Structure 1
Amino acid sequence: MIDIGQNDIAGAFYSKSLDQVLASIPSILETFEVGLRRLYDEGGRNFWIHNTGPLGCLAQNIAKFGTDPTKLGEFGCVSSHNQAAKLFNLQLHALSKKIQAQFPDSNVTYVDIFSIKSNLIANYSRFGFENPLMACCGVGGAPLNYDSRITCGQTKVIDGISVTAKACNDSSEYINWDGIHYTEAANNFVSSQILTGKYSDPPFSDQMPFFLSLKF
């Protein structure tokens, strides 16, 4: 199982413009293709490839790149990051189909994590969540409860005051855990949607192996 894109795309924005990030996607995927082919050469035949989620909806990226309201799009997410994620996913999907065609003795399944997570954020209350963007474990309170200077569980002196990035009382109400990763409750939702097969290309069959060590 391969979950790819978040670090490549989100990290690139710290040193590149949107146009530069978009232009770098083909080279990122070329490197990924080399890795896939090496796995195949080593005997790998079952590949479960997860695309990247709506990166612009992570508190870390909103705090850094969303201070200008004009940079925010639907649901208060950073438009540039989601635009890059969508283009990356489009090209990753094409690559997955290319690999499947070239290696017909393999199973290459592309999973649309972006759609699952976007649906969760858009309809968070319907799925039992109360906070779609705010981090459970952090400092600063609403709207994001995120400060890049202190990570979840740390105690630091900030602006002359000792603060601890503590977890919220009930993480099941939150989608985001620490500004970057999802909570267990959110991951449970995501995994349940994956296993319906609706977000897979090709759809799951009874013969399709399942890799349940999910990491999002």
Structure 2
Amino acid sequence: MGEIGGNDYNYAFEEGKNPEEIREFVPLVVHTISSAINELIELGAVTFLVPGNLPIGCSPAYLTYFQGSDKGEYDPLTGCLTWLNQFSEYHNELLQQELDQIRELHPHVNIIYADYYNIAMRFYHFPDQFGFTKTIVACCGRGVPYNYSSSMACGDPPLRTSCDDPSSYVSWDGVHFTEATYRWISKAVLKELFTIPYINSLCLPLTVNNKFISS
């Protein structure tokens, strides 16, 4: 399953909707994910990897949208907006509850939750361990302090160049991660304890390119 719901939240926040109103979307988004899984089960699918939401409060795009927030709303260790990360955690909590219900209804199906949130938070708390020097600044973009502007996307003239070393950045364009970040996420999902249940505890016909996920 893909990261269903991300754009629903992105557009709503970008349009300036009230956060409490957007919070009411979460059960609807989670229900949509559940409906898609159940439909695929009826078609014969037996294994699902369902990702949780990422910590959007650390995204350069969101940090730019809400630039000027009260100082107390930022995590002093990471620079991320705490209330936005709490929104992601709320989504993930409801999603995991829904997945538990699907598991009860379909015990023969492998429903694997990928904890993208806690995987990604390591990059902001311990960037040196992953080779990152810039965590909340985009590699390709324009604008201070997060190098992001909603009016000028990466790749549009004149933004056809990026930072010298994208592998040292968590964020590529303020919205998406760099290739290095996605590599670390893949490694965590496939080889570490960031899935429920632990992915290596299941008998899955999984072929992994070890070169891709090696550090």
Q: TM-score, normalised by structure 1?
A: 0.87
1:55-103 deviation per Cα after TM superposition (whole angstroms, max 9, x unaligned): 1111111101132243742122223321111000001011111111101
Q: Secondary structure at the match of 2:113?
A: strand
1:67 aligns with 2:68: yes
Residue ranges of structure 2 left out of the alignment (5+ in a row): none
1:120-167 deviation per Cα after TM superposition (whole angstroms, max 9, x unaligned): 111112221110011001123x53111111111111xxxxxxx43521
What residue in structure 2 maps to residue 41 of structure 1?
42
Q: Within 1, Cα distance between the matches of 2:207 and 2:32?
A: 23
Q: Within 1, Cα distance between the matches of 2:67 and 2:96?
A: 28
1:87 aligns with 2:87: no
Q: Within 1, Cα distance between the matches of 2:62 and 2:47?
A: 33
What residue in structure 2 maps to residue 207 of structure 1?
203
Deviates more, 1:187-196 or 1:128-137: 187-196
Percentage of matched positions with identical amino acids: 29
Q: Within 2, Cα distance between the matches of 1:149 and 1:11?
A: 14
What residue in structure 2 maps to residue 109 of structure 1?
112
Instruction: Classify 1:40/1:46 alpha carbon distance in 2 versus 1 (closer, same or farther; 3 Å).
Output: same
The structure in which a higher percent of residues are strand is 1
Q: Residues 47 and 110 of structure 2 are in contact (CA less than 8 Å); yes or no, is this contact kept in structure 1?
A: yes
1:13-24 aligned at under 5 Å gives the runs 13=13, 14-24=15-25
Q: TM-score, normalised by structure 2?
A: 0.87
Q: Residues 29 and 92 of structure 1 are in contact (CA less than 8 Å); yes or no, is this contact kept in structure 2?
A: yes
The structure in which a higher percent of residues are helix is 2
Q: Residues 55 and 61 of structure 1 are in contact (CA less than 8 Å); yes or no, is this contact kept in structure 2?
A: yes
What residue in structure 1 maps to residue 80 of structure 2?
77
